[in-house]
Amino acid sequence: MSAHSYSDKELFRLISEGDENAFRKLFHTYVPQLRPLAQHITKTPAVAEDIIQETFLRLWISRDKLAAIENPRSWLLKIVFHQSFSYLRRQTVHYKAMDIIAEGQPPEGLLNSTEEAMAYTAMTKLIAEAVTRLPPQAKKIYLLSREKGMKIQEIAAALSLSPNTVKNSLVRSLQSIRKYLEASGHFLPFLILWLLEL
């Protein structure tokens, strides 16, 4: 009996035993079904692709639990649905976090102890240090975005650059800042992780 004739439940059982062929079969079967759902929710094809990859990565990592799942299709749809809405929530919190950092103070009640307040201060200081290390153009774009609150289109117009150039510069700057923080030995709290995402 070939893998092509297996039911989804059988494929899950085979994957739970480490069968890579069954995993590939499931992947190629379900990506065309799951991609439209992720795109519909996130409205961003690139993000939808990331969500699909993350879904199957999680599936493989947690493969020992798959044999107990009765309805694989429903299970996969729920994961993609959850991942897509988690992305939207992160985007919302990201913009709130940007406002917090721009104002220089977290909202009342966000930090529940002196230790958390000190960690917040140290993290913002590290971010400022990382920004000073950016190339001049990247630093200018980052500061216009983060401190002036300008949108990508506005920065592009102000600096006579294309919106794609501005966006790519911001992506590289955020990656550079994240690496700087990690190299400093800091595990990034959720607020800063969201801050460092576009």
How many Cβ atoms sit within 10 Å of the Cβ of residue 194? 19
Write out pLDDT tens, residues 129-169.
888 999 999 999 988 987 777 888 999 999 999 999 998 89
SS3 133: coil
Q: Considering only CA atoms, give the Rg of the chain.
A: 21
Write out pLDDT tens, residues 68-85.
998 999 899 888 888 888
Write out pLDDT tens, residues 39-78.
888 888 888 898 899 899 989 988 998 989 989 998 998 8
Per the CB < 8 A criterion, the answer to whether 25 and 42 are in contact is no
How many angstroms from the chain centroid is the CA of residue 112?
A: 26
Per the CB < 8 A criterion, the answer to whether 14 and 20 are in contact is no
Predicted model pTM? 0.46
